[in-house]
Structure 1
Amino acid sequence: MATVHHWTGLEAKALRLALRLSVRAFAQQLGLAIATVSKWESKLAGTEPRPDTQAILDTALGRADAAVHLRFETFLSEMAGPVRNVGRHHVTASGPRAWEYESWADDLDRVVIALSRQNFAFADSLLTRWLGRFRAPELDEKGLYLFARATALLGDLKRDQGVVLGPLSAQHSYAGARAVFTRLGIPRRVAQLDLSLAVVTEMSGRLEVAARSYETLAVDDRLSRRDRARARLWVGTALSKDGRRDYATRVMTAATRDFEDLTEPDDWSVAHQKLALARRGAGDLTQALHHIDIARSSGATDSPMQRVRLAAAHGHVLLSDAATRDDGHLVLGHAVEVAAQYGLVHQLRSIEGIKAMSEGQTGLRQR
């Protein structure tokens, strides 16, 4: 059975983890203030409980069963690292250990799920928990990988919220994650960040620059076939917005075939959504309706973001025909409600742009 000759905050934290208790529950079990336990956890080996508290910890460990003792020894061995001298004390070097890496990775998986549901507040709280806890210089390679992944996900969060440029933007986060993955020598992740940065470029209105980036990435062997197909699709979306709709249609049609070959039904559906907008822009409303009907009948609608995008595309097509204009306004009105509910700022701006464009075109026809 494990014994501790002299307790510090490090051993106390290992015992709490071994008992599988929260800070609050651990403090209550010991009969101590939560602030006392929090101090141990923040200073670890840099703080020592009082003699009477040392005895309380001895008792708690002594009463624990064999499974708790085994976990306690495991956590303590993982947490114990190189020591450095600070005054008269030996203090364990800062930085996460294996058990923290596991928790960090689990939380990042939860962030991915939260972002897919546009639960931005929860995703932000999870990311802040880890990115605010560690600095890159104190991490080893595994920690840096998790740090870069968290930073990239923060970029996804900012992108979906419409915060594209600036010091606290998607672009800033993506660039930071890209620098770390470059340092780690992981080319696939670097290329994925290049793709994300190209999306930010498109969202900021630099369509020609974005299209060139997409074209380069569409043949980049660092990316998977699916990501290359996405890049090819996005070449088309950027060119379509820039007025080059016939060429954009050809590129997007090729991407649609790629998604079919790869058996990626959701991407295939999104491609038809993009094709609908390209044909609408070219004045071919029959084909636009054909493609949007395919997208509406085949695509996944679990994500509020995708529901809004699909409704916005559908409404845009409907507004282009006087006979269906009222239906278009109804569809866009519903899209606005969902976008506002989930804080999809970029989508709200896009819908306002669609409405303004439609009103301008209606005014020209009436003159």
Structure 2
Amino acid sequence: MATVHEWTGLEALALRKALRLSVRGYSEHLGIAVNTISNWEKFRSKRRPNTESQAILDTALARGDAATHVRFETELAKLSEGDGSAGATTRVTIPRPRAWEYESWTDDLERAVVALSHQNFAFADDLLRRWSSSYRPSELDERGTYLLARSIALQGDLKRDQGSVVGPLSAQRCYTSARSLYTELAIPRRVAQLDLSLAVVTEMSGELEIAARQYEDLAVDERLSSRDRARARLWVGTALSKDGNHDYAVQVMETAIRELEDLAEQDDWSVAQQKLALAHRGTGNLDAALRLIDVARSTGGTESPMQRVRLDTAYGHILLSDRATLDDGLRVLDDVAQQAAQYGLTHQLRSITDIRRTADGAASPSPR
């Protein structure tokens, strides 16, 4: 809600326009003579109402609804531009953003999460940019800073899913910026979640040993929820498996799977079956790998294009490991490559290309 520190004829005129009243109607509304109001509007910022009129104008503004306040701020900005008095608008405090904008911002973040889950990147990007590019952190209170941090973190998720992992316009840059804002707000759980996201970036960048150590630390980090700690433990196994340490990866993943089962996290448990299947593929236990990938494909509750691509890529990868099913694996990967291209899943498409290059069964990068 806008607050006027000292009224002049300029602000009084803006309020009349916001209330959509004639000079006579405004006079009756305020209980102030028509000639007085006409003088205010004639001299604008050079005329200051007396103390009694200041209080009357304060009350009239305070009684206005949200739409009136929006119109008042808009009219005041227009009038100030042509007023010719320096600093004309400095007597008015207008919170940025306003309360109703916070509600719209929150709604758009929820819509962006849904859009990201369906890999509708263009729509999600539009929803996030309309807010994150509108305000500087210095303009925001705590609630606004929280929403800005959330927006930037989601932009990091978007860039990660698109395969833009490191660089000036990347997931890494977004996560680091969001982490800084959450640190400023003293929200340790959100800071730790960004640490987890940054560890994923490290893994996706190919720094597998470093990523495994980061995940190990986060798997026992009390700032995180039980679910996030279990996921961190699972990802220790993912990094180890990608680095060729398949036997130990299997042990670590099985521990994480038990934790996820205890927590009744069905979607995470299903994803864990997929990752465990790939670790068993790495050990050469193809029977276990095929059994587990079938479990993952039949139990996963998430129907996002991203997860379907990951599952089918893992399935194709396992089929390629046996010369008897080599042709089937190639067909699966051809189909899933088309899906990845359709949704702009660049990182997954690179993984599929790398896997196809190793159709002779040699070790190759696993999809994340």
TM-score of the aligned structures, taking structure 1 as reference length = 0.77
Q: How far apart are 1:196 and its partner, in Å?
A: 0.0
Q: How far apart are 1:361 and its partner, in Å?
A: 4.0
Residue 349 in structure 1 maps to residue 350 in structure 2: yes
Residue 72 in structure 1 maps to residue 67 in structure 2: yes
Q: How does 1:1-367 map to 2 (within 5 A)?
A: 5-7=12-14, 70-72=65-67, 86-89=86-89, 90-93=91-94, 95-359=96-360, 361=362
- 1 CA distance for matches of 2:122 and 2:340? 15
Distance 1:290 1:196, change over 3 A: same
- 1 CA distance for matches of 2:171 and 2:309? 20
1:75–1:99 contact (8 Å) kept in structure 2: no
Q: How far apart are 1:72 and its partner, in Å?
A: 3.1
Higher relative contact order (CA 8 A, sep 6+): 2
What SS class does the counterpart of residue 216 from structure 2 fall into? helix
- 1 CA distance for matches of 2:261 and 2:305? 24
2:34 counterpart residue number: none
1:117–1:303 contact (8 Å) kept in structure 2: yes
2:320–2:361 contact (8 Å) kept in structure 1: no
C-alpha distance after superposition, 1:101-139 (max 9, x if no partner): 111011011110000000000000111100111011111
2:320–2:360 contact (8 Å) kept in structure 1: no
Write the letter of the residue equivalent to 1:72: A
Gapped runs of 5+ residues in structure 1? Answer: 16-47, 52-67, 80-84, 363-367
- 2 CA distance for matches of 1:86 and 1:307? 60
Write the letter of the residue equivalent to 2:278: L
2:267–2:302 contact (8 Å) kept in structure 1: no
- 2 CA distance for matches of 1:94 and 1:251? 51
- 1 CA distance for matches of 2:104 and 2:185? 21
1:318–1:327 contact (8 Å) kept in structure 2: yes
2:321–2:361 contact (8 Å) kept in structure 1: no
Write the letter of the residue equivalent to 1:254: T
Write the letter of the residue equivalent to 1:162: G
Q: How far apart are 1:347 and its partner, in Å?
A: 0.2
2:199–2:211 contact (8 Å) kept in structure 1: yes
Write the letter of the residue equivalent to 1:128: R
Q: How far apart are 1:11 and its partner, in Å?
A: 7.1
The Cα RMSD (Å) is 2.8
1:208–1:238 contact (8 Å) kept in structure 2: yes
1:21 counterpart residue number: none
Q: How far apart are 1:86 and its partner, in Å?
A: 4.5
TM-score of the aligned structures, taking structure 2 as reference length = 0.77
C-alpha distance after superposition, 1:71-121 (max 9, x if no partner): 435767999xxxxx9534444446202111111011011110000000000
2:305–2:343 contact (8 Å) kept in structure 1: yes
The number of equivalent residue pairs is 304
Write the letter of the residue equivalent to 1:194: D
Gapped runs of 5+ residues in structure 2? Answer: 1-10, 21-40, 45-62, 75-84, 364-368
1:239–1:245 contact (8 Å) kept in structure 2: yes
Q: How far apart are 1:330 and its partner, in Å?
A: 1.2
- 1 CA distance for matches of 2:306 and 2:92? 48
- 1 CA distance for matches of 2:361 and 2:284? 16
Distance 1:250 1:96, change over 3 A: same
Identity %: 63
- 1 CA distance for matches of 2:361 and 2:264? 41
Write the letter of the residue equivalent to 2:156: G
What SS class does the counterpart of residue 7 from structure 1 fall into? helix
- 1 CA distance for matches of 2:236 and 2:349? 23
- 1 CA distance for matches of 2:202 and 2:72? 47
Distance 1:121 1:11, change over 3 A: farther
